């Protein structure tokens, strides 16, 4: 049976019609379900948390009208954006952007690791796949910027490309470090090399892995253009750059894509370096022994996502107190600081691994 659909089995095994449904359909439904049940709600929750927390950091109130303590604000925002009239018609360039964007989104949903039983694609190379997907997202964003035919759009697009290329190298090297420790790039192997205790996480294994973790997170910010490295989307000089002409539904798609890239990156960082989905107190083993795959799936997903959210919030926190860096400074930083550090981490991690093998 195909890997994508496997995670659905515990949920549909009781129904007889499931046998007759073709596999490709099940796979597609699985992807859509993950998208609707995990990624979009995460976006809403994180959007709310980010607004509320940054309001706390900045000595103001934040959203407080829609629902108790403003919890319905993301829903209200979404509804408002969806209702807005399009400022101009679609052109073929934007259609290309949407196509690439959608492809990137859905292909990465297929490779995102969400739990020991929610591994959609678990091959020898699976740790690299989301990485390439992030580059595809950047490509789509660049197309969008170039498609606008305006100076801010061009600069936004070019900056996206420059940052993505600059961030990709250190990120890739940092990824190798985690793989060296785990002995492979299969999600299940990487998870098996760690445990729920923070002392046994890859990031805590040795100083080189810790450097690799840092490099991985920061170069992700560079690669995806997350604040404070978001010169491609900066408001004061190029009016939002890539997104300067977007409004309404297009803006919703764009923002969700941006958030999705960030979430994807954080999930991978957690899986690679911060212990992944392994539940504390040996709960994972117990649930597996008790043969309750549905509970296992849900708990592991929630555990993984809460770690991810924490990481996202820490990054947001840092972004809130730091000014936006200039794009040439960002790429300089990625090439001249992050890359050497990642190489040091790689050499160190190899030595440590070799030492252990002796």
Interacting residues with another protein (CB under 8 A): 54, 57-60, 151, 155, 227-228, 230-231, 234-239, 320-329
| Joined tokens for residue 41 | 């709600």
Shortest Cβ 156–another protein spacing (Å): 11
Do 175 and 272 contact (CB within 8 A), yes or no?
yes
Do 107 and 182 contact (CB within 8 A), yes or no?
no
Shortest Cβ 174–another protein spacing (Å): 22
Quick one: 233 or 273, whose CB is closer to another protein? 233
| Joined tokens for residue 52 | 């509320």
Shortest Cβ 158–another protein spacing (Å): 8
Quick one: 133 or 148, whose CB is closer to another protein? 148
Shortest Cβ 141–another protein spacing (Å): 18
Shortest Cβ 160–another protein spacing (Å): 14
Buried b (16+ CB within 10 A) or exposed e, 193-230: bbbbeeeebbbbbbebbbbbbbbbbbbbbbbbbbbbbb
Q: If 0-12 CB within 10 Å is exposed, 13-18 middle and 19+ buried, where does residue 277 land?
A: buried
Do 193 and 199 contact (CB within 8 A), yes or no?
no
Q: How far is CA 324 from CA 148, 227, 230, 318, in A?
A: 24, 7, 7, 11
Q: What is the largest CA-CA distance in the chain?
A: 66
Quick one: 118 or 229, whose CB is closer to another protein? 229
Shortest Cβ 69–another protein spacing (Å): 19
**Backbone torsion region of residue 123, taken as left when φ is above 0, otherwise alpha when ψ lies between -120 and 50, otherwise beta:** beta
Do 243 and 233 contact (CB within 8 A), yes or no?
yes
Quick one: 97 or 155, whose CB is closer to another protein? 155
Q: What is the DSSP string of 84-105?
A: SPPSS---HHHHHHHHHHHHHH
Shortest Cβ 26–another protein spacing (Å): 45
Quick one: 290 or 318, whose CB is closer to another protein? 318
Quick one: 24 or 57, whose CB is closer to another protein? 57
| Joined tokens for residue 82 | 């969806």
Quick one: 30 or 241, whose CB is closer to another protein? 241
**Beta pairing partners, 113:** 119
Quick one: 153 or 170, whose CB is closer to another protein? 153
Shortest Cβ 239–another protein spacing (Å): 8
**Which of 186, 230, 187, 180 is closest to 206 using CA atoms?**
180
Q: Cα separation of 350 and 347, whole Å?
A: 5
Quick one: 61 or 200, whose CB is closer to another protein? 61
Shortest Cβ 212–another protein spacing (Å): 23
């Amino acid at each position: 049976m195909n890997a994508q659909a496997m995670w659905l089995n515990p949920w549909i095994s009781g129904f007889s019609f499931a046998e007759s449904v073709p596999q490709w359909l099940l796979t597609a439904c699985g992807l859509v379900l993950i998208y609707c049940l995990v990624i979009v709600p995460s976006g809403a929750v994180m959007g709310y948390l980010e607004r509320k927390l940054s309001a706390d950091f900045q000595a103001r109130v934040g959203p407080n009208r829609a629902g108790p303590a403003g919890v319905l604000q993301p829903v209200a925002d979404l509804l408002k954006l969806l209702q807005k009239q399009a400022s101009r018609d679609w052109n073929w360039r934007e259609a290309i952007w949407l196509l690439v964007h959608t492809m990137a989104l859905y292909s990465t949903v297929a490779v995102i690791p969400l739990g020991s039983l929610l591994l959609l694609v678990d091959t020898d190379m699976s740790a690299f796949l989301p990485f390439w997907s992030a580059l595809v997202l950047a490509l789509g964003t660049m197309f969008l910027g170039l498609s606008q035919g305006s100076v801010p759009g061009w600069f936004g697009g070019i900056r996206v490309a420059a940052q993505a290329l600059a961030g990709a190298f250190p990120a890739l090297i940092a990824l190798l470090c985690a793989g060296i420790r785990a002995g492979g790039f299969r999600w299940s192997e990487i998870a098996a090399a760690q445990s729920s205790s923070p002392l046994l996480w890859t990031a805590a294994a040795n100083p080189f892995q810790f450097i690799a973790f840092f490099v991985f997170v920061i170069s992700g910010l560079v690669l995806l253009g997350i604040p404070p490295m978001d010169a491609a989307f900066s408001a004061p000089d190029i009016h939002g750059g890539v997104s300067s002409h977007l409004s309404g539904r297009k803006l919703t798609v764009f923002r969700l894509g941006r958030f999705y890239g960030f979430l994807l990156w954080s999930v991978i960082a957690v899986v690679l370096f911060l212990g992944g989905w392994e539940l504390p107190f040996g709960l994972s083993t117990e649930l597996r022994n008790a043969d309750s795959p549905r509970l296992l799936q849900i708990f592991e997903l929630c555990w993984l996502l809460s770690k991810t959210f924490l990481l996202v919030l820490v990054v947001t926190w840092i972004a809130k107190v730091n000014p936006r860096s200039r794009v040439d400074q960002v790429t300089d930083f990625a090439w001249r600081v992050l890359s050497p550090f990642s190489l040091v981490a790689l050499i160190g991690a190899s030595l440590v691994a070799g030492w252990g093998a002796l």
